[in-house]
Amino acid sequence: MSLTLANAWVLTMDRGLTEFRNGWVRIEGETIAALGNGPAPEGGEVLDMGGDVLMPGMVNPHCHLPMSLFRGLGEDVDDRLFRYILPLERKFVSPAMVRAGTALSALESIMGGVTTIADMYYFETEIAEVMDRAGLRAVLGQTLADFAAPDHASFDEGFALCDALADRLAGHPRLIASIAPHAPYSTGPAVLERAARWHDDHPGTRVQIHLAETEAETAWARREHGMSTTALAAKSGILRPGTVAAHCLLMDDADIALLAETGAGVAHNARSNGKAGRGMARVEDMRRAGIPVGIATDGPMSGNTLDLFAQFGPVSIFAKILGHSRKPLPAAEVVRMATLEGARALALDDRIGSLEPGKKADIIRISLDAPRLHPVYDVYSMLVFAAQPADVHDVMVAGHWLMRNRQVLTLETDRVLSDALQVAGQFRAEMNAIDQGQT
Amino acid sequence: MSLTLANAWVLTMDRGLTEFRNGWVRIEGETIAALGNGPAPEGGEVLDMGGDVLMPGMVNPHCHLPMSLFRGLGEDVDDRLFRYILPLERKFVSPAMVRAGTALSALESIMGGVTTIADMYYFETEIAEVMDRAGLRAVLGQTLADFAAPDHASFDEGFALCDALADRLAGHPRLIASIAPHAPYSTGPAVLERAARWHDDHPGTRVQIHLAETEAETAWARREHGMSTTALAAKSGILRPGTVAAHCLLMDDADIALLAETGAGVAHNARSNGKAGRGMARVEDMRRAGIPVGIATDGPMSGNTLDLFAQFGPVSIFAKILGHSRKPLPAAEVVRMATLEGARALALDDRIGSLEPGKKADIIRISLDAPRLHPVYDVYSMLVFAAQPADVHDVMVAGHWLMRNRQVLTLETDRVLSDALQVAGQFRAEMNAIDQGQT
């Protein structure tokens, strides 16, 4: 049985940015069968899209889903990681907590047109259950770290969790297991080497890592290993096709060239990096070197939202400020980063990231109802500088609707919110206790 | 007859950031009569706000309202001012065009919780008619410029337009006339001096100017006048209480000290400045010097929207990047800039910018329905990093509802949009002609 989405402004986001101004997309099962311009072909179910924009579901290649429960907590404080985040995580992160936070983040992601998410957290098999129910596509990364992690007391235990995750997700049509060494400084090169071997031994999985994020990290790598953190990670073998490195803020020309050679992708967290006061990643230089760079939200404790639209402004203006010109990173390229390049960064561009025959039917519909979107001289500029999550009208993953008419179909909104608020209720008291203990 | 908005989370945005977590606001006529915590006092009409946030209507202290018709046109091009904007304005700016564009921008402003706007454009008496109808509060600035402006062929004609505007708006309860010399480089010091005298002669009016925006401007002032553009403007007398200077990007310590001495305010256009690749204004330094700094959208051809929420991310992260820390410009200060400080920049803080007895009832209600806003540990962080125009539920100016339940009451949405699209239809052909003439 086929479904045709007709009377749409189809942005395929393929390499040539093919557009069908009066277009249609035909879906068979979970796959895009055909697309084109003009009247929709007959047969099967036909849905009129009312002239709205259809584009690929967006890809968020780096976040920490359960951390939506911490959103807005511990703002404007420099030592927040060690003062708040790690103590809170040690105390509160549990299977129930990650399920509640993941559901809240999944809801927000669907409502904002994000259909593929790379997550990096703890109790990742629990996260997988929620993501399976939500109907989203995901790369799910079990974190390995040397600071007392909530779900493993040793790296051996951490690797065992990765094994279990890979077993659980083997053959899943939308969920992919990933190993996620936290960062070079928090694992050390031996663990990175072991993680690289783990990836060799688990075909089809992915790798995630935080890289070149802080000055302390850079200083550590120089002091302890006499090289940059990028060089150290590359030497360990962990940077490779199928690895997505988050942040990549502190990179010189040699680091960028090295990263390009490895075949790894980058998750650019512009708003989160800016909010931390850390600066602006050299995205245009990375792209010129051939590195696939996607746009990511980072965890909601750092970036507050799972909203990719809210990243577009910072991503665009960072590139223009670094280039001292209006020209760098035109709007169409920002949308490409949020779709095909994000898919490339996750080594998923064989199946998603653009609307092309044979690819999975991960499709979002952007309503053009809001007056603030008009006039539309340049549809990509409209998406980058004017569109917002509220404009996302329908969301489909693998041929299944996750949202229609702004109603999420796979999660119960009220239940998700009340579960989240119940878990979050404990955190404020703990924050106060931390603050009192420190004053 | 009084109206009490009850069962609300009232953010007064007064100097002490007084909050009423279970609060009410009592309105008599166009004025806030009282506000407090707990059950609403009896008498008059009482409306239940369902626990939503009430806060002052936001202030946008710099924009070019009719330019919403150009939104998204001529993106990613460095010479856009002289290549596109000025030729398009010369050819198309007319009373009908400014009315259509202003209505579209007024609609978007209301829907985004902006209740006071400082506009700077041409045919300003036409703009005043639309703003009067929309029910918004505004400072309306008739532009003076040496490039063939659409509505005056000489400065004498420009001053005559200012006279007519001031006459027309004398005694208006919400609209204030303003003289708006375009910039020091495009008027010259003699016109600035004359504009300062005009302001002396027209009590109750305001002044608007673009200042220290581009490197070419800085070079011009040094070359022609041997001083900074800020020093030149200050020497002319145009910087004064009641003047709002837009951009103020290229300022050294001496310029900031000088600007503070003059009593002028600043309109910070973070997103527009960033999109132009121009950099980040030294907002924290200006605020430390006592300068009132509001948050502005700039014209929609530069910043694309009239959405103040979309500015909050860039405003916040620019300050944190300049300060290399998470600490600068905490979220509550960003909201203060969007309300009381914007009002101060426009010398309107005697009547708006905070919810206090005796001030005008310019009030917006932010719905807390969307899951992406929760949990709310810090209401200011929620407003800055998570809230969006779609969350603005009701808007009141001077005790009159402009929007209820997301339905704008003062403008006909469909008519505004169709008028705007009709006018905008001409522009694309002209853009193509410009591009062909240049290739």
Please answer whether residues A8 and A332 qualify as being in contact, where contact means their C-beta atoms are separated by less than 8 angstroms: no
Looking up residue B12, the CATH number of its domain turns out to be 2.30.40.10
B341 and B204 part of one domain:
yes
Same domain, B91 and B15: no
Q: Please give the pLDDT value at position A432.
A: 79
User: What one-letter code names the amino acid at A339?
Assistant: T
Distance CA B57, CA B110 (A): 9
pLDDT in tens, B38-76: 999 989 999 999 999 999 999 999 999 999 999 998 888
Residues of chain B with C-beta less than 8 angstroms from the C-beta of A328: 277
Residues in chain A: 439
Q: What is the mean pLDDT of residues A259-269?
A: 98
Which residues is B143 bridged to in the sheet?
B180
The CA radius of gyration of chain A, in Å to the nearest whole number, is 21
B120 and B240 housed in the same domain:
yes
* A contact residues 266-305, partner B, Cβ 8 Å cutoff: 271, 274-280, 303-305
Q: What is the mean pLDDT of residues B361-367?
A: 98
Domain with B153 in it: 61-345
User: Within a domain: residue A100?
Assistant: yes
Residue A415 located in a structural domain: no
Cα four-point dihedral sign A280, A283, A284, A288: positive
Beta bridge partners of A178: A141, A206
pLDDT tens per residue, range B135-175 = 999 999 999 998 778 999 999 999 999 999 999 999 999 99
- Judged by average pLDDT, the poorest of A298-307, B111-120, B359-368 is A298-307
Give yes or no: residues B251 and B152 share one domain: yes
On whether residue B416 sits in a domain, the answer given is no
Residue A263 has φ and ψ, to the nearest 5°, of 85, 5
At residue B9, the pLDDT reads 98
Of B321, B345, B369, which marks where a domain is finished?
B345
Shared domain for B13 and B119, answered yes or no, is no
- Count: domains in chain B: 2
Taking contacts as CB-CB distances below 8 angstroms, the residues of chain A near B103 are none
Q: How far apart are CA A102 and CA B217, in angstroms?
A: 51
Eight-state DSSP code of residue B332: H
CA nearest A367: which of A333, A335, A406, A413?
A: A406
Selected residue of A102, A372, A428 to mutate for chain B interface (largest B Cβ count, 10 A):
A372
Per-residue pLDDT, B427: 85
B193 domain-assigned: yes
Q: With an 8 Å Cβ cutoff, is A318 touching chain B? A: yes
Q: Which residues 6+ apart lie within 8 Å of B11 measured at CB?
A: B17, B19, B53, B54, B55, B56, B335, B355, B379, B380
3-state helix, strand, coil in chain B (%, to 5): 45, 25, 35
Please list every residue in chain B whose beta carbon sits closer than 8 Å to the beta carbon of residue A271.
313, 317
- Per the CB < 8 A criterion, the answer to whether A386 and B72 are in contact is yes
How confident is the model over B122-129, as a mean pLDDT?
98
* Residue B434 sits at the chain A interface (C-beta within 8 Å): no
Reported confidence tier of residue A310, pLDDT bands at 50, 70, 90: very high
Residue at B353 is within a domain: no
Kindly determine whether residue A78 and residue B371, on different chains, have CB atoms separated by under 8 Å.
Answer: no
By the 8 A CB rule, do A334 and A287 touch?
no
- Could you tell me if B374 lies within 8 Å of chain A, comparing CB atoms? yes
Whether the Cβ atoms of residue A43 and residue A62 lie closer than 8 Å to each other: no
Identify whether A191 is part of a domain.
yes
Task: Give the Å distances, CA to CA, from B179 to B162, B197, B200, B373.
Answer: 6, 11, 11, 41
Mean pLDDT of the region A92-99? 96
**pLDDT tops 60 at residue B291:** yes
The yes-or-no verdict on residue A198 having pLDDT over 90 is yes
Q: Which residues of A touch B88 (CB under 8 A)?
A: none
In sequence order, what E strands does A286-406 have? 293-295, 363-366, 392-397, 400-404
Mean of pLDDT values over A211-229: 96
Nearest to B431 by CA among B73, B89, B148, B147: B73
Q: What's at A304, amino acid-wise?
A: N
Banded pLDDT at A427 (limits 50, 70, 90):
confident
Asked if residue B288 has pLDDT above 90, the reply is yes
Residue A108, in any domain of the structure: yes
* Cα(B216)–Cα(A252) distance, integer angstroms: 31
Helix (H) or strand (E) holding B116: strand B114-121
For residue B70, the model assigns a pLDDT of 93
| Chain A residues whose beta carbon lies within 8 Å of the beta carbon of residue B431 | 377
CA distance B208 to B125: 16
pLDDT tens per residue across span B166-181: 999 999 999 999 999 9
The 10 Å Cβ neighbour count of residue B425 is: 11
B380 shares a domain with B241: no
* A371–B107 CB contact, under 8 Å: yes
Query: Domain boundary residue among B345, B371, B394?
Result: B345
pLDDT in tens, A125-163: 999 999 999 999 999 999 999 877 899 999 999 999 999
Phi/psi of residue A196, nearest 5 degrees: -65, -40
Bridging pattern class, strands B53-56 and A243-247: unpaired
Left (φ > 0), alpha (ψ -120 to 50) or beta: where does B38 sit?
A: left
- Per the CB < 8 A criterion, the answer to whether B187 and B220 are in contact is no
Dihedral, CA of residue B241, residue B245, residue B251 and residue B256, to nearest 10 = 20
Per the CB < 8 A criterion, the answer to whether A293 and A283 are in contact is yes
B323 contacts on A by Cβ (under 8 Å): 277
Closest Cβ opposite residue B326 in set A76, A108, A111: A76
Q: Verify that B46 and B73 share a domain, yes or no.
A: no
Q: Which of B111, B385, B389 sits opposite A304 (nearest CB)?
A: B385
CA torsion sign, B428 to B434 to B437 to B439?
negative
State mean pLDDT over B330-355: 98
B30 and B83 in a single domain? The answer is no
B97/A contact by beta carbon, under 8 A: no
**A51-70 average pLDDT score:** 97
pLDDT classification of A438: cutoffs 50, 70, 90:
low
Buried b vs exposed e over A217-241: b needs ≥16 C-beta within 10 Å?
bbebbeeeeeebbbbbbbebbbbee
- Pick from A347, A239, A335: which is nearest to A295 by CA? A335
Tokens standing for residue A357: 């025959």
Q: State how far residue B381 is from chain A, nearest Cα, in angstroms.
A: 6
State the burial class of residue A105 (Cβ atoms within 10 Å of its Cβ: 0-12, 13-18, 19+): buried
Q: Which of B65, B68, B71 to mutate to test the interface with A (most CBs of A within 10 A)?
A: B71
Q: What per-residue confidence (pLDDT) applies to B438? A: 58
End-to-end C-alpha distance for chain A, whole angstroms: 65
Nearest to A196 by CA among A167, A235, A251: A235
Q: What pLDDT shows up at residue A80?
A: 84
Residues A267 and A367 in one domain: no
- Whether pLDDT at B439 is above 60: no
Q: Shortest Cα distance from A191 to chain B (angstroms)?
A: 31
CB contact (8 A) between residue B72 and residue A305: no
Segment 401-420 of chain B within 8 Å of chain A by CB: 413, 416-417, 420
Which of B326, B334, B415 would best serve as a mutation to test chain A binding (most A beta carbons within 10 A)? B326
| Residue in A closest to B69 by C-alpha | A375
State both tokens at A404. 């229609």
Kindly list the residues from chain A whose CB atom is less than 8 angstroms away from the CB atom of residue B310. Answer: 313
Q: Residue B68 and residue A385: Cα distance in Å, rounded?
A: 13
Return the percentage of chain B with pLDDT > 90, whole number: 90
**Interchain CB distance below 8 Å, A76 and B327:** yes
Alpha-carbon distance of B165 to B126, in angstroms, equals 9
Specify whether the CB–CB gap between B375 and A71 falls below 8 A: yes
Domain CATH code at residue A265:
3.20.20.140
Q: Is the pLDDT of residue A439 over 50?
A: no
Contact A389 B381 (CB under 8 A): no
Res A437 pLDDT > 80: no
- Report the gap between the CA of B92 and the closest CA in chain A (Å): 16
Contacts of A330 in chain B (CB under 8 A): 75-76
Can you tell me the ipTM of this complex? 0.96
| Whether residues A399 and A258 fall in one domain | no
Closest-approach residue (CA) in chain A for B429:
A377
- CA atoms of B424 and B439, how far apart (whole Å): 24
A24 and A145 housed in the same domain: no
Question: Does residue B376 lie in a domain region?
Answer: yes
DSSP string, A376-412: -S-HHHHHHHT--GGGEEEEEETTEEEEETTEESSS-
Q: Are residues B272 and B131 in the same domain?
A: yes
Q: Which of B324, B370, B381 sits opposite A75 (nearest CB)?
A: B381
